[in-house]
Structure 1
């Protein structure tokens, strides 16, 4: 059974049913039933046209689930017009499905779950495992999301920026269980890039590839975090870096700069440096200036303070940091890093310990605790 094929066909099959009159929730349920049937039937009797087979079976499941006599008669009339499996278009525009899953009425977590289910083709169990929550909890989340978007009709272009933010949320979830969400986000974003010609879609794909290229070097054998400056760059995936840089260059050449392209440019400058001390921090600051102009995000300003500290010295970085809200996530950790570079080990050790106490996950907490212990050991010599 070709699971990858089933997952790749899922979005377009859902879209066909929606176009025929099914609401999203009913269409998605019918397609899931068809996928189960495909797993049962295909190994012994593979269809000549997999997509057409799925459309036919899913549409019949949808009709079977329709209880109203009036609705049944109306939809059964459509069965007579239903094309044969072989007549199903080879290419089906599934962009509406991306926009539906990123509908503004959904919470970010619900939008991510719905995208993984409908566009990614993952099962509820797989999504639950990836998020480390009970399957029943995830099933409720997906059901609520489907109810929210049921009946939504598109009479205007979808918001590409919202779709990209949802995909970036998926990517940043990383991986756990038997589903690698970072790789899944890249796969889905590749699909989107093949369907829509937009420089920011290309920018997001480039950003994902450049970040993913460093994945193998981000953790030590014991699972501890390895900071960018200390990573073994020989472990970076040069193929992904080359692909990401190529996609980014083509996007930037269109002169329609967006935040994902600018973030990818920062990642590309890190990837281009043979060693940490050879990083072009001046250019990185310039790209962060562009990001501040585009987003005015406090998180971007925080990252810019780090870059300024590298380009112009730690005191310049601390001056940039002083303008930001100390409650900002990672603010204390950045302050600790800059104070350490400025030679104030006592303050840096105290701030690392404070940052560890506020860390959102165990791996980051352990890393910051080790940083504080390292500086305290140096001070006691």
Structure 2
């Protein structure tokens, strides 16, 4: 079966719901409930791990050699490090992001007594008070604090509010969805990936598409802190495709349009055969794509392999500008990645040996090794090519 039509209105709607549901790593229960309810509406039962990672299995012709598609529900955030004498909060980041992008952000502090609103501000926030020092102070988490929008005098006042060390802080997404297809928001990494998966599942369900093997749709809850898909894969899974952001920046080949297929990240190359298949599907199905290599990046696939999962891994991405900051994507990329997911899920099994966890060398894959043939232009003679140093 070829790529399926994606309901982009649904994709944008569910993305909006996801972005409105705070889910920094360590505070993901509510978004887990949202996604499981969405899966149930589509007729797919979800299994949860103890902490809430989701496994939704869509049955195919064979449970062996299953395919996994994974994205993560958790986002960046912050945590209360200390209650300060000035009635403000010292914080540390959840996940890896710069305090440069935290400055000025509105946020919610989650306490046992309830939530409070606040702003993340530099220690020297007023030009009327600190003059040029507001521009010369260092950029670091030691140089920002949370101003709580509630009456609190010093540590005692904060404690009376019920604010405590370790409380989770979510950062407002500040979402804008524009008519021209651009979407600007925090936490598009990886709520956009989750929306892509749900839109692809919806297309598969609507078309009652048949797949050659089971497809495990996985939603992890701690990718931003390095845990990812380390404990959710089942033994019958032979390959796993992660969906995450592809960084558009100078020196990168990622794009905000089409699919960006990652060939490697900081943990090394992705599976040769699986990435090749995904690129072939894009060409065959007329899905715009490009390839990229990420040097300072890891995804759910890395945590799975590091945990000992013997699976082929790949990473397909939607191009994102200013990742882990004020992020921007385009709907074209989201639709393209979702189309690729549907085409991949329904594609035939190319490596039948992968149906079994262990087997002998028969049917094992081969890599190309023959020499490439160069097609010289008609006006260059072979004899000239051998002698001409240019």
What's the TM-score, normalizing by structure 2? 0.24
Larger helix share, 1 or 2 = 1
Larger strand share, 1 or 2 = 2
